[in-house]
Structure 1
Amino acid sequence: MAQTNLSAKKYVLSTALVTSLALTPVFAGSVFANAGAGASEGDIPASESNLPNATEQEETSPSVGLIQRGDVSSAVEDLQEELQDQGYYTYNIDGIFGPITEEAVREYQADQDLQVDGIVGPNTKDALAVQNENSDEELNIVEKDEDENTSESGDIQSDIVAAAESVVGTPYVWGGTTTDGMDSSGFINYVFDQVDIDISRTHSEMWENDGVHVDSPEVGDVVFFEGTYDTEGASHSGIYIGDGQMIHAGNDGVSVADFTIDYWQDHYIGAKSFTE
């Protein structure tokens, strides 16, 4: 399988960014979720998550001409490259406008004294274009130099995150592995089935048999926990999406959670990559 490590690259975009931004539909918003007995302190409400409520966005802002959370396009890729070049985005250039990209946009907007809403509209586009013109005067444009393995690795990690984000809000159903309802290991199985990777059914079997152990999780890796309920070995897992957050299936369904809080760190036993 493809390597997960991506070479760091620098991109400087032309002013064509302004006219290249396009839209695709947003996906459902996040909800509260638990990860077994006592796990409620690990939950993130929509108001605190990097995945804001999609319905509210649709009601309060026109979609035409904007680029925002949920979009998957070359325009998002261009945006990520520009934000990366200016030091706001440090993750994969994958064309997926998820929580990490939105946080980078918010930080950029705050520094530019723009409305901090995580949505790239005319004002944010104009600011990016002006800074890009200034950058072009000082720096040479560096062409992309991605080999086949690096490109494939980035694609599959992006697909994993996209599959996980696509089912946020799915209810918890014991033994479930479909969009009608999922349990915690069923969620992991569903996501990797979408990218044609076969894994074991239970958390403990995944931890023992699948993928390779990694020292620290990268985007698309699976983070494992033990002792979240009374069972031997790994008892829960989630998909790491970067920025200290993961997506998992808890008692209240599939949602985003803060991986860095004490509850999860106290039960954390390690991470694995299923793409190697």
Structure 2
Amino acid sequence: MYKSKSVARKYVVSSALVASMAFSPALSEGVFAMADSDAVEQPDSSGSLETDALNKGDRGRDVTALQTELESLGYYTYNLDGLFGPITEDAVEDFQRDQGLQIDGIAGPETMEALSSAEASSEDSESVSVSQSEVVSIAKNLIGTPYVWGGTSPDGFDSSGFIQYVFNQAGVDLSRTERDMWKYDGEQIESPSIGDVVFFEGTYDVEGASHSGIYIGNNQIIHAGSDGVEISDLSYDYWQDHYLGVKSFK
């Protein structure tokens, strides 16, 4: 008799639990919806982006994936910290500008699609990318070298001597002066990619190209200026006023 009461008591409890679940669909749906939401927010194992848009102030693995893609294309050169701050926003805007997209600093669907396409194109030309990366690496290792008029070695460079030396180390022979590089070497292109050379005119009293720098992404160049080999921002009025064009020496 005692045993049967125990069984009945267990049955009542179990029935109550089933009833509460049956009459509380909103609660159970909310739990599963939350689980589904967590799953969607996670990037896939490849690290690709799985969100509609990333904005300034966002953080997490999706932002890290965005920074990684921008870095691979030369637009982001800082820590992969997963924080969508001013530096990441600037990199997105630079990419949008080069791609002819709306410049709003937001990594929306069009920007992400363009990133994927640009990265795929970069992978298709891997041998070129390696060469461009080598040029930038050689140039960066020379930062701080003093400016010397007529200089063509790590003891001191003038602007064209620096360009000639870097490309010679990468296996590309160039003319000695910027004027001749601009007239005779490489191929003139519309806009710079990493490893291309940006030319300027009128920086001193000489006809034609008079200065140049190696484009390293993020609207920056490495060049031999009056203070030695350094990185400069192309957005400064001085460079804009003297801009001549871009050549690729692949």
TM range (shorter): 0.5 to 0.7
Alignment of 1:204-243 (within 5 A): 204-243=179-218
How big is the shift at 1:261? 1.2
Structure-2 residue corresponding to 1:101: 77
Change in CA separation of 1:231 and 1:83 when aligned onto 2, cut-off 3 Å:
farther
Structure-2 residue corresponding to 1:154: 129
> Are the counterparts in 1 of residues 164 and 176 from structure 2 also a CA contact under 8 Å?
yes
SS in 2 for 1:101: coil
Change in CA separation of 1:147 and 1:86 when aligned onto 2, cut-off 3 Å:
closer
Equivalenced residues, count: 163
The AA in structure 1 aligned to 2:147 is Y
Which residue of 147, 159, 178 maps to 1:172?
A: 147
Alignment of 1:1-276 (within 5 A): 12-13=46-47, 86-91=65-70, 93=72, 100-102=76-78, 105=80, 108-109=82-83, 150-275=125-250
How big is the shift at 1:206? 0.3
SS in 1 for 2:206: coil
> Are the counterparts in 2 of residues 177 and 183 from structure 1 also a CA contact under 8 Å?
yes
How big is the shift at 1:110? 5.5
How big is the shift at 1:251? 1.1
Across the aligned residues of Structure 1 and Structure 2, the Cα RMSD in angstroms comes to 3.1
Alignment partners' CA distance in 2, 1:101 and 1:233: 32
Change in CA separation of 1:147 and 1:264 when aligned onto 2, cut-off 3 Å:
closer
Change in CA separation of 1:110 and 1:178 when aligned onto 2, cut-off 3 Å:
same
Q: TM-score, normalised by structure 2?
A: 0.58
Q: Deviations over 1:217-260 (max 9, x none)?
A: 11110000000000000000000111011000011100000111
> Are the counterparts in 1 of residues 64 and 80 from structure 2 also a CA contact under 8 Å?
no
Seq. identity, %: 50
Q: Which has the higher contact order (CA 8 A, sep 6+)?
A: 1
Change in CA separation of 1:167 and 1:84 when aligned onto 2, cut-off 3 Å:
farther
Alignment partners' CA distance in 2, 1:197 and 1:217: 18
Instruction: Give structure 2 stretches of 5+ with no counterpart.
Output: 1-43, 49-60, 86-118
Q: TM-score, normalised by structure 1?
A: 0.53
Alignment partners' CA distance in 1, 2:206 and 2:192: 24
Q: Deviations over 1:50-87 (max 9, x none)?
A: xxxxxxxxxxxxxxxxxxxxxxxxxxxxxxxx888722
The AA in structure 2 aligned to 1:261 is Y
> Are the counterparts in 2 of residues 11 and 84 from structure 1 also a CA contact under 8 Å?
no
Change in CA separation of 1:148 and 1:267 when aligned onto 2, cut-off 3 Å:
closer
> Are the counterparts in 2 of residues 185 and 202 from structure 1 also a CA contact under 8 Å?
yes
> Are the counterparts in 2 of residues 247 and 255 from structure 1 also a CA contact under 8 Å?
yes
Change in CA separation of 1:149 and 1:88 when aligned onto 2, cut-off 3 Å:
closer
How big is the shift at 1:12? 1.5
How big is the shift at 1:175? 1.0
How big is the shift at 1:90? 3.9
How big is the shift at 1:194? 1.1
The AA in structure 1 aligned to 2:156 is G
Structure-2 residue corresponding to 1:42: none
How big is the shift at 1:182? 0.6
The AA in structure 1 aligned to 2:231 is V
